[in-house]
Amino acid sequence: MRVEFITGNIAIAEGAITAGLKLFAGYPISPSSEILEHLSMELPKHGGIVVQTEDELAAINVIVGASWAGLKAMTATSGPGLSLMAEGIGLAVMTEAPIVIVDVMRAGPSTGVATKVGQGDVMQARWLSHGSYELVVLAPWNAQECFDLMIKAFNISERLRIPVIVLTDAVIGHTREKVIVKEPHEVKIISRKRPKNPEDYRKPFKVENDLVPPMTFLGEGYGILVESLTHDERGYYRPNTATHAMLVKRLVEKVRRHKNFIADSAVYFGDDVDILFIAFGSTARSVYDLVHDLRRKGIKACLFRPKTLWPLDTSKLILLGRKARKVFVVENNTGQLVYEVERILKTDNVISIPLISLEAPSSNEIWEVVREWL
């Protein structure tokens, strides 16, 4: 391992390299372009390929194709680019292709402010594509976590054969911090399951006990069919309710069943809780300061910081939420994560603190709003 002083974007790139990334296809978009640029210089040194595609639509489809041909593949973009990848995410879900998508959020909607922070993609990251499906969204809050959670993102995508989205933002992406960069042999790396029996190579969607099929690759010559229509275990189109319902339910269940392997969070001052703050990403950095300030003033404030936004670490959240008198969900949008918190806690003490700010809101700015509620 080595110590580097790098931005969140570069840490994302380095985390991907350690995790075994071998193909990056992307399109330049502020504030994520440094990931593409850094990898275009570094990834070939590790035997990988970087290609800048003609648009985001091509990028997402290139990485699904590369994943199906056997490589660990990823792309990086921002809000508007992610919107363009909607259909491609559906393809990854339906064909169970392991891919990682990094969304360095910026102020939206639409073109918004390309170089400034926003947190408005919480819902988009989860629900962007059509149809019924489940995927995983991770939310680092500093450069070190950008590195570490990228490895976790690849591991989850490979283990469950799903697309995983890593949600950072313009502040995290461009803030330079100390990062301990680990080498591949120093971390746990998971790769997609392969068939055990020779006859299973022709069934790219054969269900096993953990609901995740082993993967045969395109180009290995087993004559497989990778199918975006609803299909059976051989990939044959089967438009009947029995097959379709079974497939769709399995795509959802395979994520839900592995929640313990996925969900993660950090809790600060969780022992005695009067006021619970919930925040993620760059906003959480300011709330962290605020909680420390409040503790010094004798207020029993606690911060629950989700590292996985979808699914949230519900058991820990419920434990804290039940103890708190008031729960403040602080986010740099008009209120998105708060709906998930309300749904999970089912109490009436959840208060949305939506702060639109082009810079990460300071702890004072947050306190000015929160104290009105106390």
Using rule CB under 8 A, residue 341 touches other proteins: no
Contact call for residues 168 and 338 (beta carbons, < 8 A): no
d(CA 372, CA 369): 6
Using rule CB under 8 A, residue 223 touches other proteins: yes
Using rule CB under 8 A, residue 37 touches other proteins: no
What SS3 string covers 102-162? Answer: EEEECECCCCCECCCCCCCCHHHHHHCCCCCCCCEEECCCCHHHHHHHHHHHHHHHHHHCC
Q: How many residues bind other proteins (CB under 8 A)?
A: 45
Using rule CB under 8 A, residue 65 touches other proteins: yes
Using rule CB under 8 A, residue 347 touches other proteins: no
| Cis bond before residue 311 (omega within 30° of 0) | yes
Minimum CB separation of residue 66 from other proteins in Å reads 4
Give backbone dihedrals phi and psi of 43, rounded to 5 degrees, phi first. Answer: -60, -40
Contact call for residues 327 and 84 (beta carbons, < 8 A): no
Using rule CB under 8 A, residue 19 touches other proteins: no
List the x/- string, 107-146, binding to other proteins by CB under 8 A.
----------------------------------------
Please report, for residues 101, 127, 222, 265, 311, the alpha-carbon distance to residue 258 in angstroms, rounded to integers and kept in the order given. Answer: 20, 19, 30, 16, 10
| Residue number, 62 or 279, with CB nearest to other proteins | 62
Contact call for residues 280 and 336 (beta carbons, < 8 A): no
Pick one of 73, 262, 278, 341: the residue that binds other proteins (CB under 8 A).
73
Using rule CB under 8 A, residue 57 touches other proteins: yes
Pick one of 1, 44, 115, 180: the residue that binds other proteins (CB under 8 A).
44
Segment lying near other proteins (by CB under 8 A), choices 17-25, 163-171, 245-253, 323-331: 17-25
Pick one of 133, 217, 280, 304: the residue that binds other proteins (CB under 8 A).
217
Q: What token pair was written down for 147?
A: 């590195």
Output the CA torsion 140→317→137→262 (10° steps).
Answer: 100
Summarize as ranges the residues that interact with other proteins (CB under 8 A): 22-23, 25, 41, 44-45, 49, 51, 53-55, 57-59, 61-71, 73, 87-88, 91, 95, 217-229, 236-237
